[in-house]
Structure 1
Amino acid sequence: MAQTIFNHLSNGQKTETKHINFQQGNNQPYLSDEVLNVYDYFNSEHLKGELDLALFPNLRKITFQQNVRFNILESIDLSKNEKLSRIVIDGQNNDYFFEHNSFTLLIKEIQLSRIILACDIKDYRGTRWVWIKTTNYLKDQAIIPYFLVEDKKIEQLEAEVASLKQSLAQKDQTIAQNDRTIVDLNKKIQQTPTLDQFQELNNIALPCSDLDFDKLKQEVKRLKLKDFNPYFKEQKDSFEQLTTTTKNKAGDSLGAILDLLLQTNKQIIESKNESDNSFTQGQLLGQLLTCQTLLQTKFTSEELQSLLNKQKELLMLEKQSAILKQ
């Protein structure tokens, strides 16, 4: 019912309204210089129920004259007035305002910290009561009651935006993963010899012969072994000589420790690519360190490390030799 008091206003007048001034009287609302004067229609059905001010999108300020009387008005809905920033109770006799008004403001939670309420409050100073002007955000005042309403459309939109962002993030991750897969595949393609490359290699290793991968592989191994075997023998002899020299220097007292050092180092090297658990690896490394510590009574750490490096190199060569002989 209360909403009908605005029926005579044009859309232009509603848009032009920036300030609504509620005051005592029985006239119909009229606009003057962006201020819409609205009267309380005392004890009239004109202002019964809820008054929704969403009709005024540019509303910035509301003033209640202290003698206004909204006896049967239940609520004023401000939840859609996003530009509203001030509510003023004008006049010093606010007791009258409280006695003759029981309406509730319907607002959004965000408006609690956006809208300022200005009014006079009574304060006892010395020997008399005085009225003092105060301003507070709606959330910090206890003069006009309010009720929070939810904007379901906004909440729904926010939920949809959040869902879209999550979906886009997942798609971005999928695209990034696919890009990495493509890069890896391209690398593999580049690293994989083509048929022409195999044919070229076959012409070098087995000229005047048709391409046969097994024959080509055996020929490559044979050619590799031709250069590999002398080098392998040289490195093996060098390591055996170094081991003999080291054992002689270690003497009988540390010979067994030296053997354990080499045996442990071999186990560590051979188990790196196997499924040995970290606990076993830790035990072997601890044992290796203990052997090195005991041997440092006759050897420097550099000498011991050089021996271990030589052993590692020889083990790698032995592995390569076994592959070439298959």
Structure 2
Amino acid sequence: MVNAQEYIERNFPKNVKEISAISSQLEGHLDLSEYPNLTIVDLGCNSRLTSLQLSNSSGIKYISIFDTGIYNFSFLAYTPNIHSICLPRAGDKIGEPTGNVYFSKALRDSCQENYKLQTSLRQSNRQIQTQLDQEIKKNCDNTQRIKELEQQLAIVQQENQEKNQINELSNIALPNSPDHFTKLKQEIIRLKVQELAPKVRNESTKVVKLIEEAKNKAGNFSSIVDLILETQKQIVQNSVTSQRDIFFGKMEAYRTILESVLSKEELQTLLNKQTEFLELEKHLKSLQL
């Protein structure tokens, strides 16, 4: 027996139009896809030849697979201009009843085999697509996690940079000190207190002056000036929502009364100035604790 593929490639150039290998003891699979010029293929009387593959074979008009082991005729899909076919069984010819039945059965078997193959391929494709989707989702999750970690890393790096800068300032301001940060903090607080104390005194003087002017203009309603300022002070110092709502209600009542003797601008200037003073005073006290 001779390997069919090796025999054909050894004895027939790729550009031939006819291959005749009758009774050549061929066996196995034969692929003639690289023979585009074929018009006649005669492989009869090679009982061990089991399968045939064709492509780019539109010129083939005659094929003989008489007395071979070929029972899959899917290669005929590549021979649209075929005129005559000799089937594997002796005595069968296309056009005769026995030949037609045999050929129909062989084609049906080939179609069923192809259908099974296509079904298997579709299932494999679905499995591969599912795996691919899972991998894509996993990659997306990983990408999101990487972004989160990068953001966290950036925050840590920023914090470390700020700490390093503080240490550098501490070393500059207080060299040879074993507790740089604590002493630097104390020094900064001391300097800040020195800066704020005069401002608080100045703002206090301005607020007192504005209060006196407002009381003088308010006349009989001067006591309302004290009440609205005290209420505003409670709003600034109190963070409880329910109580703040009560204070805001009082503020509106006092504001309505005072707007009969003070302009809206004068009253708002007084309130704003006291708020600034209270915030400044609060800041100073927090540093002095």
TM-score normalised by structure 1 residue count: 0.50
Per residue, is there more strand in 1 or in 2?
Answer: 1
Cα RMSD, aligned residues only: 4.3
Which has the higher mean CA deviation after the structures are superposed, 153-162 or 231-240? Answer: 153-162
**Alignment correspondent of 2:157:** 186
Q: Which residue of structure 2 lines up, in the alignment, with residue 67 of structure 1?
A: none
Task: Please state whether the residue corresponding to 1:35 is helix, strand or coil.
Answer: coil
CA, structure 1 residues 223+43, in 2 after alignment: closer, same or farther (shift >3 Å)? closer
Verify the 8 A CA contact 2:54 2:78 in the aligned structure 1.
no
2: CA distance between counterparts of 1:169 and 1:187?
Answer: 27
1:35 aligned residue: 80
* Conserved? CA contact 1:266–1:312, under 8 Å: yes
- Over 3 Å counting, the alpha-carbon distance change for 1:189 and 1:156 in structure 2 is same
What residue is the counterpart of 1:266 in the other structure?
233
Report the Cα distance in structure 1 between the residues aligned to 2:206 and 2:234, rounded to whole angstroms: 21
Q: Verify the 8 A CA contact 2:231 2:250 in the aligned structure 1.
A: yes
Shift of 1:300: 4.1
Q: Partner amino acid for 1:238?
A: K
What is the rounded CA distance, in whole Å, between the counterparts of 2:200 and 2:166 in structure 1?
Answer: 32
2:55 maps to 15
* CA positional deviation for 1:172: 1.5
Structure-2 residue corresponding to 1:197: 169
Match of 2:210 in 1: 242
CA distance in 1, matches of 2:216, 2:154: 55
Post-superposition Cα deviations, 1:148-207, rounded to whole Å, max 9, x if no partner, equal: x9922222222222212221121121111122122222222232244442132126xxxx
Change (3 A) 1:289 1:173: farther
* DSSP-derived class of the 2:174 partner: helix
2:89 matched to which residue of 1?
none
Cα-to-partner distance string for 1:95-143 (whole Å, 9 max, x where unaligned) = xxxxxxxxxxx8xxxxxxxxxxxxxxxxxxxxxxxxxxxxxxxxxxxxx
Q: 1:52-79 CA distances to partner (integer Å, 9 max, x unpaired)?
A: 485xxxxxxxxxxxxxxxxxxxxxx398
1:161 paired residue number? 132
Post-superposition offset of 1:282: 6.2
Q: TM-score, normalised by structure 2?
A: 0.55
Matched-pair contact (CA < 8 Å) for 2:235–2:247: yes
**Structure 1 pair 238/171, CA: closer, same or farther in 2 (3 Å)?**
same
One-letter code aligned to 1:323: S
Alignment of 1:177 with 2:148, yes or no, is: yes
- 1: CA distance, partners of 2:252 / 2:274: 16
Deviations 1:25-65 (A, max 9, x none): xxx968598417597954444345561485xxxxxxxxxxx
1:172 corresponds to which letter in structure 2? T
The number of residues matched between the two structures is: 214
> Aligned partners of 2:260 and 2:281: how far apart in 1?
31
Shift of 1:234: 0.9
AA in 1 matched with 2:274: Q
What is the alpha-carbon distance in structure 2 between the residues aligned to residue 307 and residue 322 of structure 1? 22
Residues 1:321 and 2:279 aligned together: no
Which residue of 2 is the match for residue 109 of structure 1?
A: none
**Pairs within 5 Å for 1:1-326:** 10=31, 12=33, 13-16=53-56, 34-35=79-80, 41-44=99-102, 45-48=105-108, 51-52=111-112, 54=114, 77=115, 80=118, 151-192=122-163, 193-202=165-174, 210=177, 212=179, 217-253=185-221, 255-256=223-224, 258-259=225-226, 261-271=228-238, 276=240, 288=251, 292=255, 295-326=258-289
Can you list the C-alpha shifts for 1:4-30, whole angstroms capped at 9, x where unaligned? xxx987462433368xxxxxxxxx968
How far apart, in 1, do the equivalents of 2:208 and 2:112 lie? 100
Tell me how far apart the structure 2 counterparts of residues 49 and 173 of structure 1 sit (CA, whole Å): 52
2:204/2:277 contact within 8 Å kept = yes
2:211 and 2:270 in contact (8 A); partners too: yes
Structure with higher helix content: 2
Larger Cα Rg: Structure 1 or Structure 2? 2
Which ranges of structure 2 fall in alignment gaps of 5 or more residues?
Answer: 1-27, 34-52, 59-70, 86-93
Aligned-partner residue type, residue 157 of structure 1: I
Deviates further, 227-236 or 31-40: 31-40
1:233: how far off?
0.7
